[in-house]
Amino acid sequence: MDARATELLATLRNSNVSIDVKATSLAKIKSEIKQRNVPEAAIPPLFDSLRLAIASQHSSLSSAGFSSLGHLLKRLSLQDQHQAITLQGRATYQVLLEKLGDHKARIRDQAAQAFTEFWLASPVDVEHHVLETALVGKNPRAKETSMTWLAKMTQEHGLLFRTYVPSLVNCLEDADAAVRETAKSTVIELFQNAPPRAISDLKKQLISHNVRKSIATSILSNLGVNINTDAEVSSSFHQSHSRPDNTRPVSSFSHRRDDLPRSNSVLSVRSHSNADLHGMPRIDTIFHGQPKPMGADQSNKYPTLSHTASVESLPAATSDTTDAETVEPLYVNSHREFDDMIREMLLCFEGKESEQNWILRERNVVALRRLTKGNSFQDYPQNYLVAIKSLLDGILKTATSLRTTLSAAGCYLLQDIARTCGPSIDPMIEILLQSLIKLTAALKKITAQHGNVTVDTIIGNVTYSSRILQHIWGACQDKNVQPRQFATGWIRTILMRHSKQKGLIEHSGGLELIEKCIKKGLGDANPGVREGMRGTFWIFYKVWPEKAEA
């Protein structure tokens, strides 16, 4: 089996071999694993092969990889090779995490099942990746799958969930409606037969995380709790909220949906109506009856979109730092509504930027961000990608604008697109990097930094290709110091996010390009570039130690 495992790895690394041939090779080795023991020497190449297969964008090969992984883990468990499972698992979890947020439910389920099988040998590592990484991450599908996995593992394997309750409660106020609903059902399921002390702790968590009244009421009533007469929780609330609101430290969860007006448009079918949410009392009103006063500057902080409003009615961003957390998701009922909105946007992006069109461009970019954070890509991926492709030239015009706020808005949109769509934007990578790497040489430091973060976000979310490294190599040779300095971080992202594709990087000539970039940076005339590249070198050393020492 040793030789066949090595042959399989070579086959999967060979880009000239068809997907069908690779899948057939996997099926053969899976059959062999089911029938006989796996020699120790065959374990590393087998896991390397399965990681390549699972990471593939071809569902047939990825599914074959998951299936073979399940049989391999069962076989190694029978052989008492728990240490090997733990060791190889640490190199596999990152691949599984990415699949945990896949747009296909079947792939997500397979990734969750793989984590379950690894958990039997290495529970601490698995819980860290699923419940401390995916559950608190930014991918809504990964969050949903993580919560479902938590409920299943608690029921079937007795996993102790108490540690993860705060993260679960945070999801009750997530921007994504499906995440909120999954969190709600998971909390109810986990606490269905919980003792009174656990229910009391849950109430305190609901209060401390400012969960909106409607969600908290629904959860507690489903658990059969009398929420009006709990003196202990009332006392706890007074202690935890003794400070005035304006002295409360800002946290990543301070963007609440309950005290912000939501869109009541037909495009926002998944949101509650304005009548329900505008000025809605926080969770503390469940127990005390009096809502907290809303600051005058909060009541109109976010725009609403009426039934008759068009995209043009959306106000432009008013801050130079329109952060990714400050836009409300915008949901559409059908692809026709989405297409109609895109059609309205096309005209303003035509031609050069002017005093007449730049504000409208900014409004439309914000609207696109809201659509991206909503359900457009998840429910209508083909329409969404066609729309982005048709608007890409206009989006790049905004990102490279001399107006700082407009440029920032364009960059934030591209970051959202990269995080949401991932490898789906691979066909656009060439034009994106060409424009954005030029932006990193901008005279305005804030604009250059926005360009840097956008390039880094794109590189970290798309599929690896040698063309990405070609662009980075070009940046390493730029006459301006900023692109050269930023390039040190981009190489780090390549090494950290794509190192599982070592074989592909080596065979595509990427390894030579990385070495050239590092040597160039270490000898750069600018001390900042040299310092940045030294940090990159040590990450390179962990991935290719023999090359680093050469």
Question: 538 is written with which tokens?
Answer: 């040590």
pLDDT digits (tens, 9 = 90+) for 216-236: 999 998 888 765 534 444 444
**What local confidence, expressed as pLDDT, does residue 227 receive?**
56
Q: Tell me how long the chain is.
A: 550
The alpha carbon dihedral of 85, 88, 91, 94 has a sign of negative
Arch. (CATH architecture) of 326-436: Alpha Horseshoe (1.25)
Helix axis angle, 140-157 to 82-100, nearest 10°: 140
For the chain, which residues make up each domain, given as ranges? 2-134, 160-225, 326-436, 464-549
Q: What is the pLDDT along the chain (550 residues), one digit of tens a residue?
A: 888 899 999 999 998 999 999 999 999 999 999 988 999 999 999 999 999 999 999 988 999 999 999 999 999 988 888 888 989 999 999 999 999 999 999 999 999 999 999 998 888 889 999 999 999 999 999 999 999 999 999 988 888 888 899 999 999 999 999 999 999 999 999 998 888 888 888 998 899 889 998 899 999 988 887 655 344 444 444 444 443 333 333 333 333 333 333 333 333 333 333 333 333 333 333 333 333 333 333 333 333 333 233 333 333 333 333 344 468 889 988 888 999 999 989 888 988 888 888 999 999 999 999 999 999 998 899 999 999 999 999 999 999 999 999 999 999 999 999 999 999 999 899 999 999 999 999 988 999 999 999 999 999 999 898 899 999 999 999 999 999 999 999 999 999 888 888 888 988 889 999 999 999 999 999 999 999 999 999 999 999 888 888 7
> Are the CB atoms for 366 and 316 separated by under 8 Å?
yes
Q: What distance in Å separates the CA atoms of residue 89 and residue 85, rounded to the nearest whole number?
A: 6
pLDDT digits (tens, 9 = 90+) for 337-360: 999 999 989 888 988 888 888 999
pLDDT digits (tens, 9 = 90+) for 494-509: 998 888 888 889 888 8
Give CA 378 to chain center in angstroms. Answer: 13
The alpha carbon dihedral of 467, 369, 377, 63 has a sign of positive
Q: How far apart are the first and last CA of the chain?
A: 33
Do 2-134 and 326-436 share a fold?
yes
Distances (CA, A) of 502 to 62, 87, 99: 18, 18, 19
According to DSSP, residue 251 is labeled -
The radius of gyration computed from the CA coordinates of the chain, to the nearest angstrom, equals 26
Arch. (CATH architecture) of 2-134: Alpha Horseshoe (1.25)
